[in-house]
Chains A and B, each alone.
Chain A
């Protein structure tokens, strides 16, 4: 077996014939030449060193090729069907960025006007409130981006699946932020504002998902359901916020397929979203264990359930009219 045979076989699986011919094969041929030259000269260590350098160069080259291919396919994907996906992602990103800024500014302004904060800590504080805003901004911004980007045009299944994939990725991002980033930044925010020398005890919103789970299990084991209630709120509220981009995104996709009026559909979505969020906040802040007979954990999921039901209704209506 010659040096680089395995790497060449591996590259053949992923690279096109053109890339093999013009990039991978010349690299491996040069590496073999160097390696054999050192072997013939009786310098085994130099041969090994040259082979290792060749292997390193191979992986760097494959990395460059993969990045170029990914960039090209992303561009083709975004430009397909009259730039529908590119436009959708662009609008969604713009709306999300604007919402993040506005939503982060409100608690930041409220806290900095009520507390004396050192000027050099203002930037840090603003960064700490940004993760709070991201899940809500994604939940609203992504569906609005879908509505404006699709502009009520009838899309093929490839575009629809691409939108679904974007919704899934957004949900995963929101899940990661709600579960792990938000608790840490919340805690850092509190400690910066209070300026306590001792670390502050973490509240329900400052615990990661695994920590919340562990505490809930411990409290339920000893039968302290009252103490567990804030943890249950936080757990379900964050999970529901993580799932919202997927469910609301599908709702926007269904809405875009039944009406060609972008403004009308965006207005419907905004009104529905704000109403449900207001209801959810009112229920959660009420601190009740049940709401109209429903356990609070289920009530928190009501906005998502309603959006899911509306999506199904829209899909059924669209298929009937078709």
Chain B
């Protein structure tokens, strides 16, 4: 039986930011999340999302002053976009409307 893709709140936030801004570094994701993402966990979460196929990454050309270590840029995959869309749709339909 095929497994249903799941999305944690942090993964959802990352996907939302990546869909809005196309391509971001890990640190830019932390800054853009207004402290909802932490530097100590964002790279682990991004690694897990790569395993799930929600995001893809590419290494930038190494800058001369960074000791030959390339920075990594992340972007949402079509699967990640579809999962986010489905999740947002689901949440919108399942959230009870406020009483009038």
Contacts and interface: CB of A to CB of B under 8 A. Distances in A.
Nearest to A58: B40
A192 B99 CA distance: 53
B72 interface: yes
Interface stretch (B13-21, B41-49, B75-83, B85-93): B41-49
B71 to A, nearest CB: 4
A34 B27 contact: yes
Interface string B11-51: 00000000000000111000000000011110110110010
A38 to B, nearest CB: 12
A81 interface: no
B97 interface: no
Interface in A255-294: none
A61 B25 contact: no
Contacts of B27: 30, 33-34
B67 A26 contact: no
A22 B50 contact: yes
Interface in A183-229: none
A72 to B, nearest CB: 12
B73 to A, nearest CB: 9
A61 B41 contact: yes
Interface residues of B, number: 21
Nearest to A57: B39
Contacts of B50: 22
Interface size range on A against B: 20 to 34
Nearest to A37: B65
A26 B42 CA distance: 10
A149 to B, nearest CB: 29
A60 B72 contact: no
Contacts of A61: 40-41, 43-44
Given A22-B50, A22-B57, A65 B65 contact: no
A43 to B, nearest CB: 16
A59 B40 CA distance: 7
Contact of B40 (A25, A28, A36, A60): A60
B47 A32 contact: no
Among B38, B40, B63, find the residue whose CB has the most chain A CB atoms closer than 10 A. Answer: B40
A301 to B, nearest CB: 50
A56 B69 CA distance: 19
Contacts of B57: 22, 26
B70 interface: yes
A64 to B, nearest CB: 5
A109 B32 CA distance: 59
A150 interface: no
B66 A26 contact: no
Contacts of A57: 38-40
Contacts of B63: 33
A30 to B, nearest CB: 4
A54 interface: yes
B58 to A, nearest CB: 11
Interface of A: 2, 5, 8, 19, 22-30, 32-34, 36, 53-54, 56-61, 63-65, 68
Given A23-B44, A30-B25, 19 more contacts: A5-B67, A8-B69, A19-B47, A22-B46, A22-B47, A22-B50, A23-B43, A24-B43, A26-B46, A27-B39, A30-B27, A32-B67, A33-B63, A36-B65, A59-B40, A60-B40, A64-B41, A64-B44, A68-B44
21 contacts: A2-B66, A5-B67, A22-B43, A22-B72, A23-B43, A24-B43, A25-B70, A26-B57, A29-B71, A30-B27, A32-B65, A33-B25, A33-B27, A36-B66, A54-B39, A57-B38, A59-B40, A60-B38, A60-B40, A60-B41, A61-B40
